[in-house]
Structure 1
Amino acid sequence: MCGRYALNASSSQVIEQFELAYEGGLRNSEERIEKEVFPSKIEEVIFRPTTQNVLESKHWGAKNLVINGKPLKDQVNVATIEKLETSPLWSKALRGNRLLIPATSYFEWKEVDKFTTEKYEIYNSTNQIFAFAGLTIIYVDAEGKNQNCFVIITSEANEKIKTIHHRQPVIVPISNYTKWLSNETANPTHLLKQFDRTEMDYKLISTKTKKKIENQPSLF
């Protein structure tokens, strides 16, 4: 987790739930903000620079990241909750660059067998907007360029989601939004929450099957 997510809601719903500042231009648009979000895209996230929550656009995922002097081959889209306080990269962001990622669902792929993969949409059982816990990552990439992106925090999956995938995103309850975003909050990890199995549901979106290659008898 998390390969893709969705924000299937109007601008006014997002403004109201996250108490956003500078809402004038957004409120005039009732179009759905994003139906399916892919890594590397520029997406809307929420942070709190002063005393108000603000919407800002950032790339999802850190690419060309350098760790211990070596560039990583793959883009990093998530931070594991188990290493938030021990990883130099995550712990620095945890202290002062926390954010929220509004969403209504996310997607996972389950490998049924070596030929078959199922795509699932996982969502809040009340069909409400929720917020992934995220971090702003500011770094210099392998090409010497300054980068500013976000990653989503994940944890071990609950028993219900484990039937699909072993990881799931961490959320921030509405009551903890301000504390999570505020740099004055000490030990912010206690504000994070795993979706309980009773709070989540999922549905099968599609099934992809690779063509089996049968053993052909020799002609010679």
Structure 2
Amino acid sequence: MCGRYASSASNADLLEEFDVALDRTDAPVRSILAAPQDPPAGTADHNIAPSKNVRVVLERPPRPEEGVDGDDEASEEPVRQLRLLTWGLVPSWSKDPSVGSRMFNARAETVLEKPAFRAAGLRRRALVPADGWYEWQRSPTVTVRGKPRRQPFFIHRGDDVPLAFAGLYEFWKDPAGDPADPRTWLASVSIVTTAAEPGLDRVHDRQPLVLEPEDWGRWLDPRVDDRDEIAAMLAFARPGRFEARPVGRAVGSSRVNGPDLRIPAPVEELEGVVDPTTGEIIG
């Protein structure tokens, strides 16, 4: 699974890295959070949890009032956009948005079969920019109150290539909402996960599906609707791109934030931790 991640790049950097034509992060968006999002949506966040509004790259025709690069005319061609979407996919047929709390991940192996994700997998695919993600490893040797001790890790690319999770997005309309209010619509996203590669499987058995830049265009293009081609992208794997390091336990609270969350945990704080590279037990 992927239940926490970090994304600290500026919007300007994301526009450049992902060759985005239309920045819509300033558009009004619906939030399902009980309190104002902190840090604010669209800014650096080092501890992103489900239900937050997150930055997402997608391609779809812009609405007439949006235009592109100062042009007031909207095209029927899909345009690459940066938007804020709620993390936790809510299918259009849902009775209410609460279902999104259980659908922040979608398994690559079943995306094209599950009713909740099938339509999005065929025509509403997205990229979720990130610095890396957090995962919790269950200790094979140390228990706390009868359960395996859980050690958080931060996992990131070992090179300078921008990281992007494969995602799926949907739109849900509030039947009680005002048709003139853009917040009547909830746009939501799920992160696609796949089997963890060797090494990372010592931390957790799942990991986000991370596509390479040369595949971003095909993944985002809604005109690519061939099931076999999409299935091939969902099956993508390239082991060896990531590094994993144990970090402090403060990341377990979604209220804690900041770049210090990624600082490697001191060796003396590790108990029964399995080294992802060697398989050796630390502490």
2-structure distance, mates of 1:60, 1:194: 23
Equivalent residue in structure 2 for 1:171, among 192, 210, 221: 210
Task: Confirm whether residue 37 of structure 1 aligns to residue 48 of structure 2.
Answer: yes
Contact 1:161 1:197 in 2 (8 A): no
Query: Which of 237, 247, 251 matches 1:205?
Result: 247
User: Could you give the per-residue CA deviations for residues 109-151 of structure 1, whole angstroms, max 9, x where no partner exists?
Assistant: 112143122110000011432110000133479x999643100
Give the deviation of 1:76 after TM superposition: 1.6
Change (3 A) 1:32 1:140: closer
What is the rounded CA distance, in whole Å, between the counterparts of 2:24 and 2:92 in structure 1? 37
Is the partner of 2:128 in helix, strand or coil? strand
* Alignment pair present for 1:46 and 2:75: no
Question: For 1:167-204, what per-residue CA distance to the aligned partner results, in whole angstroms no more than 9, with x for missing partners?
Answer: 00002211111111111112323234655332110111
Q: Residue 128 and residue 7 in structure 1: after superposition, are their counterparts in 2 closer, same or farther (change >3 A)?
A: farther
User: Which residue of structure 2 lines up, in the alignment, with residue 138 of structure 1?
Assistant: 171
Asked if the contact 1:59/1:148 (under 8 Å) is kept, the reply is yes
In the alignment, does 2:20 pair up with 1:20? Answer: yes
| Distance 1:150-1:25 versus aligned 2 partners, 3 A rule | closer
Gaps of 5+ in 1: 210-220
Shift of 1:35: 2.3
Distance 1:73 1:13 in 2: 29
Q: Which whole-Å CA distance do the structure 1 matches of 2:25 and 2:52 have between them?
A: 22
Mean alpha-carbon deviation: is it higher for 84-93 or for 163-172? 84-93
Q: Which residue of 2 aligns with 1:218?
A: none
Matched, 1:100 2:127: yes
- Asked if residue 150 in structure 1 is aligned to residue 192 in structure 2, the reply is no
Name 2:222's counterpart in structure 1: 183
- 2:203 is aligned with 1:161: no
Q: Does 1:89 align with 2:100?
A: no
Q: Report the equivalent of 2:66.
A: none
State the TM-score, normalized to the length of structure 2.
0.62
Out of 134, 143, 155, which is 1:114 matched to? 143
Please give the root-mean-square deviation of Cα atoms over the aligned residues, in Å. 3.2
CA distance 1:157–1:194, shift in 2 (3 Å) = farther
Match of 2:238 among 186, 189, 196: 196
Change in Cα spacing, 1:88 to 1:37, as seen in structure 2 (3 Å) is same
- Counterpart CA distance in 2 for 1:119 and 1:129 is 23
The answer on whether the counterparts of 1:169 and 1:194 sit within 8 Å (CA) in structure 2 is no
C-alpha separation in 2, matches of 1:66 and 1:24: 25
Distance 2:100 2:192 in 1: 20
Moved more, 188-197 or 91-100: 188-197
| 1:128 paired residue among 150, 156, 161 | 161
AA matched with 1:201 = E
Query: Which of the pair is proportionally richer in strand?
Result: 1
Contact (CA 8 Å) 1:6, 1:103: kept in 2 or not?
Answer: yes
- More displaced 10-residue stretch of structure 1: 77-86 or 184-193: 184-193
The residue type paired with residue 169 of structure 2 is: T
Ranges in structure 2 where 5+ consecutive residues have no aligned partner: 27-41, 61-76, 178-183, 251-268, 270-283
Query: Is the counterpart of residue 2 in structure 1 residue 2 in structure 2?
Result: yes
Q: Which amino acid aligns with 1:114?
A: T
Cα displacement (A) at 1:13: 2.4
